[in-house]
Structure 1
Amino acid sequence: MSAATPAPPAAAPAARPAPGRKGDRPRRRGSLPGRVALYLTLSVLLLVFIAPMVWAVSGSFKPRGDIFEYPPNLIPSPATLENYGNLLSGQPFWRWFAISVTTALLATAVAVFVCALAGFAFAKYRFAGKRVLFSVMFSSLSVPFAVILVPLFVLVVKSGLSNPWFALIVPWVAPAFGIFMMQQYIIQSIPDEILEAARIDGASEFGIFLRVVLPLLRPPLGALAVWQFLQSYNSFLWPLVLISDTESYTLPLGLNILFRAENRSFDLVLPGAVLASVPTILVFLLLRKQLLEGLSTGAVKG
């Protein structure tokens, strides 16, 4: 009796051809007229947004009498650096610049850390009064800053903390928007199992936050850092109420002085605006990857 041989494996069923005609290529999303309309709309919006900056850069290199020439000429003829020289030599521009950049960077660093820590607490811990505290924090988003301006100023002065280098940072250290943003991202992207595994390994709660949570928050932290830097760097109302010494002005206040001068010094305002935009452009370029990832996370998760 011959040994039984294993049956040959059954042939795999042939894959069904994709529906549609043979040789069809995948169609692109959207029709051609729709894409054309979209690109035209985006191009118009780009021109609207970039036109003021282009005009400021062009005017900063023009003599004062040519800034408002008509028809406008975007290419300065002749181009001159005299406006920049007059601004840097005749005004305390670099002091204004240093105060604005330093306070904005400090406020951003503190705010990013505080928002991440508070968002982690709201997202992963249970404690008495959590819902009430979160509701109060979230409802503060609907309160304009001008409403709390005077009480905040009185509180800072009565506390003896009115030093500009400190007081300029106080309003931006714990923005409600940043706390809410961190809380939502942590809920969606950091599972409890990772935290439990870290606790089993003997990590402390603060160590879990520093070594586990923070590295996973790079995209939203980058987006929050860009937003917070712009908020602090472009702040005008709070420094206007707080600072009385011209030498301690921030850039928005300093440029406002030049604009409100009797002779409207546009030949100084325009180069000042161009130089003032450099830090914001650098921050965006350095954090653009984290910014785009952080802004797109909600859409992907949703």
Structure 2
Amino acid sequence: MSTIASAVRVRSGRALLYATLFLLLLAFLAPLLWALSGSFKPRGDIFGYPPKLIPDPLTFDNYRHLVDQQPFWRWFLMSTGVAAIATVVSVSVCALAGYGFAKFRFAGKRLLFGVMFSSLSIPFAVILVPLFVILVKTGLGSPWFALIVPWAAPAFGIFMMQQYIVQSVPDSVLEAARIDGASEFGIFWRIVLPLLRPSLGALALWTFLQSYNSFLWPLVLVSDSSQYTLPLGLQTLFVSENRQYDLVMAGAVLAVVPAVALFVLLRKQLLEGLSTGAVKG
């Protein structure tokens, strides 16, 4: 009887867990599904009652008007271009800095790492205005440069790389490479970087999304409408007199495409990172 009761409790627990996860999944997907549905509806039907998830009639006019009547592709290219450059810079800088903190000894290392780690507790809104003033005063306020600065060397990325290198890169391997005459940069390029692929994939995805979805920093920095990023461009549609919800929803659906594509591209690295963490944890 105890075995049967135990099996029933296990199955009940699993059923409750699956039901909870399913409800959470619906909660996370509901806004995206509603945006997807609204992007195919006429503006007057978006807030119709009773609400309908399946558009009737279904129309592609929202996408056509967004592309033909608004500079959507300019916003899109600005956001993806800035995010792509920021991702490459961030991954490169964080990997090098993390490697330095993890495997080298130098004066002030603990103090420098402590200051860097403490900066994680500072909200970006606190340094937003000083950073903007510094960039403008130094003549570095060009959007293509300034939009990348906050993501060039994030403390989170450096800490993440440092922790991963400490756990995944043995000192014995590095010492053997040095004995064989490899240079420090050669060791980093040929030995360390291949071992960092899972963490680099996760950091690349995080950095891309942070830069791509950034709204507050471009809002402060960019004044020329020809240099708007995608969040700023869609915001202009929302605050217009007509509040073009139909175009905003169509734009939001198209804006998801790069993030999903990057996730699919890096899924192998992400899964490897999760499995590595499970083994080591």
Range class of TM-score, shorter chain: over 0.9
Q: CA deviation at 1:205?
A: 0.5
* Matching residue's letter, 2:201: G
Match of 2:82? 103
The residue number in structure 2 matching 1:177 is 156
5+ residue gaps, structure 2: none
Determine helix, strand or coil for the equivalent of 2:223.
coil
Q: 1:89 and 2:68 equivalent?
A: yes
1:258 to 237, 249, 256: 237
Name the counterpart of 1:3: none
Aligned: 1:123 with 2:102: yes
Aligned counterparts of 1:71 and 1:134: Cα–Cα separation in 2: 56
Looking at structure 2, the residues matched to 115 and 256 of structure 1 have their Cα atoms a distance apart, in angstroms, of: 32
Provide structure 1 residue ranges, at least 5 long, that are not aligned to the other structure.
1-23
Q: Hey, what does 1:113 align to over in structure 2?
A: 92
Report the 3-state secondary structure (helix = DSSP H, G, I; strand = E; otherwise coil) of the residue aligned with 1:117.
helix
Code of the aligned partner of 1:173? A
Instruction: From 139, 147, 159, give the equivalent of 1:160.
Output: 139
Which secondary structure state, in structure 1, belongs to the residue aligned with residue 266 of structure 2? helix
Does residue 216 (structure 1) correspond to residue 195 (structure 2)? The answer is: yes
Within 5 Å, which residues of 2 pair with 1:13-28? Answer: none
Q: What pairs up with 1:177-196 in 2 under 5 angstroms?
A: 177-196=156-175
1:59 aligns with 2:38: yes
Residue 227 of structure 1, CA deviation: 0.7
How many residues get paired? 277
Q: Is the 8 A contact 1:223 1:295 kept in 2?
A: no
C-alpha separation between the residues in 1 aligned to 2:241 and 2:102? 54
Structure 2: distance between partners of 1:206 and 1:115:
15
Helix, strand or coil: the match of 1:289?
helix
Of residues 170, 182, 186, the one that matches 1:203 is 182
**Equivalent-residue separation in structure 2 for 1:193 and 1:182 (angstroms):** 19
Give, in whole Å, the separation in 2 of the partners of 1:245 and 1:296: 46
SS at match of 2:129: helix
Cα drift, residue 296 of structure 1: 4.3
Q: How far apart are 1:299 and its partner, in Å? A: 3.5
Instruction: List aligned pairs for 1:39-58, cutoff 5 A.
Output: 39-58=18-37
Following superposition of structure 1 onto structure 2, how do residues 287-298 of structure 1 map, counting pairs within 5 Å? 287-298=266-277
For 1:65, the aligned partner's letter is G
2:221 matched to 1:245?
Answer: no
- Looking at secondary structure, tell me which structure has more helix per residue: 2
Q: Which residue of 2 aligns with 1:300?
A: 279
Tell me the distance in 1 between the aligned counterparts of 2:275 and 2:110.
28
Q: Which of structures 1 and 2 has the bigger CA Rg? A: 1
Q: Distance in 1 between matches of 2:273 and 2:137?
A: 39
Match of 2:259 in 1: 280
2: distance between equivalents of 1:275 and 1:188? 39
The alignment partner of 1:294 has SS state of helix
Confirm or deny: 8 A CA contact 1:223 1:292 kept in the other structure: no
Q: How does 1:127-138 map onto structure 2 within 5 Å?
A: 127-138=106-117
User: Equivalent residue of 1:31, what SS?
Assistant: helix
